Amino acid sequence: MPTSPAPVRHLDAGAAAELKATAAKLLAFHGSATSPSLLADLPVMCAQLGEPLRRQLRPVDTADGLFVLRGLDVDDAVLGATPGHWSTVGEAGALYDVVLLLVSTLMGTPIAWDGQQDGRFVHNIVPSPGHESEQTGASSSVLLTPHTEDAFHPGRAHLLLLCCMRNHDRIATTAASVRLTELAESDLAQLRRPAAPILPDDAYEQAQQYAGRPAPVPTLFDSPEGLTMRYDPAYTPLEETDREWREAYAHLGKELARVSVAVALEPGDVLVVDNDLVVHGRVPFRARYDGTDRWLKRSSVRVEGRATRPLAEHDEHGYGQAALTAWAA
């Protein structure tokens, strides 16, 4: 798998300083990156950012469905130790929570989930003791299988942003775009039909207890922008499907592996992923739990009016999970 061939957009020193100064101003005024009033102020502050910065922070616009925004530095000594669990982060790295929210707001509307990380709009992704082998961001010792973020839900993000706080071991995030795959027409036809449901992952304990019957959903679908995807093999009950569909699904998995890239993020990098095109994952690593482990911050963005999903998704129950939007928080 190639390492770090993802497109890179470089923020110049002036643009990076403008973004961080705006974030610092918001944080100083509101006192916390989780303040509802800070969230409400994001569109106003974004409207004041200069056009050169806004142009560099435009959404993904290539078939590979991702880019790395580079130019925001993180002072490792000031940051403090990598926490052992998202719930103990507190205000550590709060400036970058706000930076990430500003970038997210320029691209769409930040969203959160009432059933994940206490409804926060920026999640902290750190390895946690006891979760090493799960298929969640808290894992470490296993391959995090490539997947669509929150694939179980019709209100999932259109864009996923990952901001690197620390990555001394250069642990790679993997990514693969469906628009770079080569699939036979027979495989495409199979994967366009709803043959299997996608179940909530282990980060959504409440959703996993939902009593509603899971409904089959298509894996691939066509949109005015091109082919899009909804994929999470670790939470798809493949054993309930027919042989022809399973074979097509396996072919898709092989093609995604073939076109997959590995991106080793540097501190301050922001990886922007089109969640309709690209599945992402992470290579295994050995967590030390000594305060120096990999630490990312994550935000999810909805782009209103984007026609990349079938209308039938509007009828899904979403396993009882409600997406929160920043302006209504």
Do 309 and 277 contact (CB within 8 A), yes or no?
no
Q: Which residue type, as a one-letter code, is found at position 99?
A: V
Per residue in 110-159, pLDDT (tens digit) is: 999 988 898 899 999 999 887 788 878 777 878 889 999 999 999 999 99
Q: What is the DSSP letter of 103?
A: H
Q: What is the DSSP letter of 217?
A: B
70: in domain: yes
Do 107 and 306 contact (CB within 8 A), yes or no?
no
2: in domain: no
Do 220 and 227 contact (CB within 8 A), yes or no?
yes
The packing angle between helices 13-30 and 36-47, to 10°, is 150
Q: Which two tokens mark 295?
A: 């630490």
**What average pLDDT does range 216-225 have in this prediction?**
93
Per residue in 160-172, pLDDT (tens digit) is: 999 999 999 999 9
Per residue in 258-298, pLDDT (tens digit) is: 999 999 999 999 999 999 999 999 999 899 999 999 999 99
Predicted local confidence at residue 279, as pLDDT:
98
207: in domain: yes
**Domain membership of residue 324 as a residue range:** 8-328
**What average pLDDT does range 56-79 have in this prediction?**
91
Compute the distance between CA of residue 89 and CA of residue 93 in angstroms, rounded to an integer. Answer: 8
Average pLDDT of the residues of the chain: 92
SS3 breakdown of the chain: % helix, strand, coil, rounded to 5?
35, 20, 45
Q: Of 9-13, 101-105, 139-143, 269-273, which range is least confident?
A: 139-143
**What average pLDDT does range 81-94 have in this prediction?**
90
Compute the distance between CA of residue 288 and CA of residue 204 in angstroms, rounded to an integer. Answer: 26
**What average pLDDT does range 77-82 have in this prediction?**
93
pLDDT, greater one: 75 or 139: 75
Compute the distance between CA of residue 33 and CA of residue 121 in angstroms, rounded to an integer. Answer: 9
pLDDT, greater one: 110 or 56: 110
1: in domain: no
Compute the distance between CA of residue 136 and CA of residue 119 in angstroms, rounded to an integer. Answer: 17
Give the number of other Cβ atoms within 10 Å of residue 133's Cβ.
10
pLDDT, greater one: 25 or 312: 25
Predicted local confidence at residue 185, as pLDDT:
97
* Banded model confidence at residue 4, pLDDT cuts 50, 70, 90: very low
pLDDT of residue 3 exceeding 70: no
Q: What is the DSSP letter of 179?
A: G
Do 69 and 164 contact (CB within 8 A), yes or no?
no
Number of domains in the chain: 1
112: in domain: yes
154: in domain: yes
- Radius of gyration, alpha carbons of the chain: 19
41: in domain: yes
**CATH at 36:** 3.60.130.10
pLDDT of residue 64 exceeding 80: yes
Predicted local confidence at residue 304, as pLDDT:
87
Predicted local confidence at residue 328, as pLDDT:
64
Compute the distance between CA of residue 292 and CA of residue 104 in angstroms, rounded to an integer. Answer: 27
3: in domain: no
